[in-house]
Chain A
Amino acid sequence: MTVATPAETDLQRPSLQPEGWLRYFSFSLDHKVIGIQYLVTGFVFYLIGGALAGVIRTELVSPMADFVSRETYNEVLTLHGTVMIFLWIVPVVNGAFGNYLIPFYVGARDMAFPRLNAVAFWMIPPAGILLISSHFLTGSAQAGWTAYPPLSITTPAAAQVVWIISVLLLGGSSIFGAINFIATVLKMRRPGLELMNLPMFCWAMLGTSILVVLSTPVLAGALILLSFDIIAHTGFFNPALGGNAVVYQHLFWFYSHPAVYIMVLPAFGLVSEILPVHARKPLFGYTTMVYSIMGIVFLGLIVWAHHMFTSGTPPWMRLFFTIATSFIAVPTGIKFFNWLATLWGGRIALNSAMLFSCAFIVNFVFGGITGITLAQVPFDIHVHDTYYVVGHFHYVVYGGTVFVIFSSIYHWYPKFTGRLLNEDLGRLHFLLTFLGFNLCFAPHHWLGLNGMPRRVAEYDPQFTFWNQVSSVGALLMALSTLPFLVNVLWSLFRGRLAGDNPWNALTPEWLTSSPPPVENWPGEAPLVEHPYGYGIPPGHLDVGVTTGQELWTGARR
């Protein structure tokens, strides 16, 4: 019996999606386009947030409020925090790299819900424009990114409500993204690919997304109640009306402590991808890495009140949250030593991607150690609401995550564009960033220990010198953006052609062309069971083959 198979090849595909550069401005459903949209949008907001940081550091050059008024200073620090966290780090480290890489890593042609994915991205620009334009329309919020009542109830109401709407939109976007990541990692894996074969970034995104799904809605609920307090004059968080301001703090930190892990866990995952490639060694301790991520997810959900040791928390609560917080050092320490062991004895290529990743390890350890000190009640009471906290936080989130974002851009730029970034400019960028960052934030610890409060435009003249040092560091950080911008734009057109796999990497996104075709692979997705199989003698490994299947049958010869 003969079976007639329909001719498949000459079907005209209906093309509803724009092609070329126009697709980056469209409601594209392609996860790679959405990833780049997140990345570029996020970077624009990084420049805005950076300019705001510039205003802060300029103001703090002298002890008096002479550059901007006190109210403007409050607005600027609120906008700086909100923009950097909700519009730069969370969207970029989750949305950009998550969307670009996860479908490759699970061997899928796209995310589980492409349309939801596009919706999640397109919630961000309106939210960002709303937030920033509020500065020119109503004046922007002044209560800091924490928006603690009663401060947020007594500062100008319209501005605070705009801030709440904007954060609600961004939180919704984040939840939609997380649902997509969970479904993609758990449900979209290509047949034959087990969970424990996945590249580490998948685990990091799975853990992050669990945190987003469990904690972001609680913040949304708190902000809705806060908006009632502002608009309808209810008294949920207003002690003057019989309410309870500490409940807001609990609800806020139930999200905002995990938010630190939402910002830093994906960075852990990205570093775990970058280090093995450039050290030519397998990722050390894969299984312990997985359990550490899940341990951090669990512990991250039960430590929030360590932000509230001076809010009248009862002794049993202080005890519990100190111990739980200190425990986080265990899984984090496991990851740290795993990275060191990955580097140990490797053939390290000290290129820009690697420099940023190694600097991440250094910065993050420092930020982690100051984090442990902050978890201890007596110490925390001394430095609460001082610059020590500012220093700690920026070591974690800038020295940690932002360094990894830059590292990742150097690592995956050839995948995005097919061209390499310029190494000399990259190293200059690294040098300026690393020097500027440490110069800017290391003095904050000393300032805080000596009692300089944060979020105030004016300070005691005895702190002038170290504030000026810090501002010089900030200037260096601002300058460091220039070689990076030049590099990214110049390399887009004139950069050295990268070929499909310039790093000889083994993770699946490199086993296709650069930039990849619309549905990721021309044929079937490769089955990569050993994404970190480096260190096999070069002769046994033909990285020129196009599928992981061939690669591994070749390697086991």
Chain B
Amino acid sequence: MTHDATAPHAGAHPDARLFGLATFLVADGMTFAGFFAAYLTFRAVNPLPPGSSYELELALPTLNTVLLLLSSYTFHRAGRNLLRDDRAGCRTWLLLTALLGGAFLAGQMVEYFSLPFGLTDNLFASTFYALTGFHGLHVTLGVILILIVWLQSRQGGRVSAATPFGLEAAELYWHFVDGIWVVLYGILYLL
């Protein structure tokens, strides 16, 4: 039911939205954890067919990692600017974050097209595309969220220093996606 102004608890309603989002991210993280566990088990017990290997080109993914970590920092700056009521600065940092996210996705595409294997070539190939693809979907959603927050943070929009929830939620999500990438980069590319 809608909480109307006459209800005794009006205004005292605790805001659990960020907490709820964090709980959801735990669930989302468990999906990744399942994928990671499956991948590591495959790697430990299922030998690849002859002629295929786990080796991957490292330069582009490493650049991508740097871009994504940088974008976490720029998002953080956007949040700080919003709380200081510097709307213009906040929006600039937001756009920069979205650009970095877009660059990451572009880099991912370039990598996909340059890889010597396709989705069904072998177990490693399938797992590689499933993991990076699932993460890429998360990044795509994140970029969309950032652009929405960017729109909402304009003068008179619903994201402001007094009501920063939209930005805080997108930021929490973005840091989560970056954190997942670091693990993914470690076990998929470096291991």
B1 touching A30 by the CB < 8 A rule? yes
Q: Once the chains are docked, how many angstroms separate the CA of A247 from the CA of B155?
A: 52
A183 touching B8 by the CB < 8 A rule? no
Q: Once the chains are docked, how many angstroms separate the CA of A505 from the CA of B83?
A: 49
| B120 shortest CB reach to chain A, Å | 5
Determine the residue in chain B with the shortest Cβ distance to A218: B34
Number of contacts between A and B (CB, 8 Å)? 129
Listed residue (A13, A114, A217, A244) with the most chain B CB atoms within 10 angstroms of its CB = A217
A182 touching B23 by the CB < 8 A rule? yes
Within 8 A of B (CB), among A515-530: 518-519, 523-525
Which of A230-238, A397-405, A473-481 lies at the binding interface?
Answer: A230-238
Q: Mark B1-31, 1 if CB is under 8 A from A, else 0.
A: 1111111110000101101100110111111
Instruction: Judge whether B123 is part of the interface by a CB distance below 8 angstroms.
Output: yes
Specify which of B1, B23, B38 is in contact with A247 (CB 8 Å cutoff). B38
Q: Please judge, given known A-B contacts A213-B26, A221-B31, whether A11 and B6 are in contact too, CB under 8 Å.
A: yes
Determine the residue in chain A with the shortest Cβ distance to B9: A109
| A217 shortest CB reach to chain B, Å | 4
Within 8 A of B (CB), among A142-200: 175, 178-180, 182-184, 186-188
Determine the residue in chain A with the shortest Cβ distance to B24: A179
Across-interface contacts of A233 in B (CB, < 8 A): 120
Instruction: Judge whether B122 is part of the interface by a CB distance below 8 angstroms.
Output: yes
The main secondary structure of chain B at its interface with chain A is helix
Instruction: Judge whether A16 is part of the interface by a CB distance below 8 angstroms.
Output: yes
Within 8 A of B (CB), among A4-61: 8-9, 11, 13-14, 16-17, 29-30
B23 touching A221 by the CB < 8 A rule? no
Instruction: Judge whether A83 is part of the interface by a CB distance below 8 angstroms.
Output: no
Instruction: Judge whether A435 is part of the interface by a CB distance below 8 angstroms.
Output: no
| B41 shortest CB reach to chain A, Å | 5
Within 8 A of A (CB), among B28-80: 28-35, 37-38, 41-42, 45-46, 48-49
Q: Please judge, given known A-B contacts A179-B23, A213-B23, whether A523 and B8 are in contact too, CB under 8 Å.
A: yes
Across-interface contacts of A188 in B (CB, < 8 A): 14, 16
Instruction: Judge whether A243 is part of the interface by a CB distance below 8 angstroms.
Output: yes
Instruction: Judge whether B130 is part of the interface by a CB distance below 8 angstroms.
Output: yes
Across-interface contacts of B49 in A (CB, < 8 A): 242
Q: Please judge, given known A-B contacts A29-B1, A110-B1, A179-B27, whether A242 and B38 are in contact too, CB under 8 Å.
A: no
Q: Mark A83-112, 1 if CB is under 8 A from B, else 0.
A: 000000000000000000000000001101
Q: Once the chains are docked, how many angstroms separate the CA of A184 from the CA of B20?
A: 10
Specify which of A11, A184, A235 is in contact with B5 (CB 8 Å cutoff). A11
| B180 shortest CB reach to chain A, Å | 13
Q: Mark B66-102, 1 if CB is under 8 A from A, else 0.
A: 0000000000000000000000000000000000000
Specify which of B5, B16, B41 is in contact with A187 (CB 8 Å cutoff). B16
Q: Once the chains are docked, how many angstroms separate the CA of A116 from the CA of B6?
A: 24
A217 touching B34 by the CB < 8 A rule? yes
B119 touching A232 by the CB < 8 A rule? yes
Instruction: Judge whether B127 is part of the interface by a CB distance below 8 angstroms.
Output: yes
| A512 shortest CB reach to chain B, Å | 13
Specify which of B4, B42, B123 is in contact with A13 (CB 8 Å cutoff). B4
Across-interface contacts of B134 in A (CB, < 8 A): 224
B24 touching A228 by the CB < 8 A rule? no
Q: Once the chains are docked, how many angstroms separate the CA of A330 from the CA of B159?
A: 51
A236 touching B123 by the CB < 8 A rule? yes
Q: Once the chains are docked, how many angstroms separate the CA of A541 from the CA of B21?
A: 43
Q: List 21 A-B contacts (CB under 8 A).
A: A8-B5, A11-B4, A11-B5, A11-B6, A13-B6, A109-B9, A179-B20, A183-B20, A187-B19, A188-B14, A213-B26, A217-B29, A221-B34, A225-B38, A234-B130, A236-B38, A241-B120, A247-B42, A250-B37, A250-B41, A251-B37
Given A14-B2, A16-B2, A183-B23, 11 more pairs with CB closer than 8 A = A178-B27, A213-B23, A213-B30, A218-B34, A221-B32, A233-B120, A235-B123, A241-B123, A244-B42, A523-B8, A525-B9
| A residues in contact (CB < 8 Å) with B | 8-9, 11, 13-14, 16-17, 29-30, 109-110, 112-114, 116, 175, 178-180, 182-184, 186-188, 213-218, 220-222, 224-225, 228, 232-236, 241-244, 247, 250-251, 254, 518-519, 523-525
